[in-house]
Structure 1
Amino acid sequence: MKEMTRKAKAIAAAFGVILAAAPATTFAQLSTTANGPYYATPSWDQKLTTNRFVILANWNNEAVLDRETGVVWQRSPITFDNDLSYAAWTCHLASTGGRRGWRLPRAEELASLLEPDPITGMATLPAGHPFIGIHTNSGDFYWSATRSAQSANTVWVVSFSIGAGGPFLPYDRYLWCARGGQGVDTQ
């Protein structure tokens, strides 16, 4: 393992994790060494600039904890088109990392993964994020569990290419299952 700074070691020790070697321009990759706790209590009012994401090694590196929100994400979302009911069913049956209890995320949870790019102003996933296989082409949208307040027939989706989303009819989209956090939006 590459040499770590004292601050990084202190952070790692405080959260019961080890800090894996990572390029200086990316988030330091945290991974768990034992069963929790790996993080401070999440709070939506905090903004973590480093070590926000923890790859859960004891979940076969298949899941990532967002320490800012407390949501656990699949490390690799399902990137073949699914209609809404199939997407919800797929998350419900998922056993990512040997764990059940997955669900479609709320629109706010998906949007919380985005950060504004200081140059373009477009919201994107943070540089150095640990996720694999995220589709970021124009028109690539991910399902949420958030129903539109204007129409019961539409559901919010989020795009990681344009950093935005909106209510859409339940046609085929990608899905990214989540676990924990705030839960389903019953709007």
Structure 2
Amino acid sequence: MARVGVAGSDPDGILATPIRTLKRDARKDSDIRLLVREARERGAVQIFVGLPRTMKGGESESTRMARDYAVRLVQALAAADLRISVNLVDERLTTVSAHRSLHSAGVGGRDHRKVVDQAAAVEILQQAIDMQRSLGRDVGTVVAAPAGGRDGMRTAGQDQPGSTQEEQYGAGETQ
């Protein structure tokens, strides 16, 4: 993954908007530190990380990278003493949809790269917000810091915070 798009919601959890695009820094995790700082400053209660599954719902190297990224984010949030739920959500076709939306809005091809990750993050977050509202529960897979060799995942809806009174975040990655 080369870039991470970041989106946020309004305090009522109704509308997702773009925030920024971060350059992925796998060696220093400076992008993760920036996400943690944004989450603290904005009072985030939940973060959604896009999970790029194959069209058939399978796993790929990108899927594994997203899972690893989410675990690193959970660890950084815990180290910063922030109790914010991180959920993985299916992001199939969000980048394709984001490209189409940008093209329809008249954004030129050269400018796409600058904002496509933010647009994809907005789509990921808006889908999660809308699904949570319609289902009346959290969606996705909650990511927990690895402990005792476990994979760090558990299904959403199990003892999770569901407040939408503070901001939520979406993050989408590209390679």
- If the length of structure 1 is used for normalisation, what is the TM-score? 0.28
- If the length of structure 2 is used for normalisation, what is the TM-score? 0.29
Structure having the larger proportion of residues in strand: 1
- Say which one has the larger Rg: 1
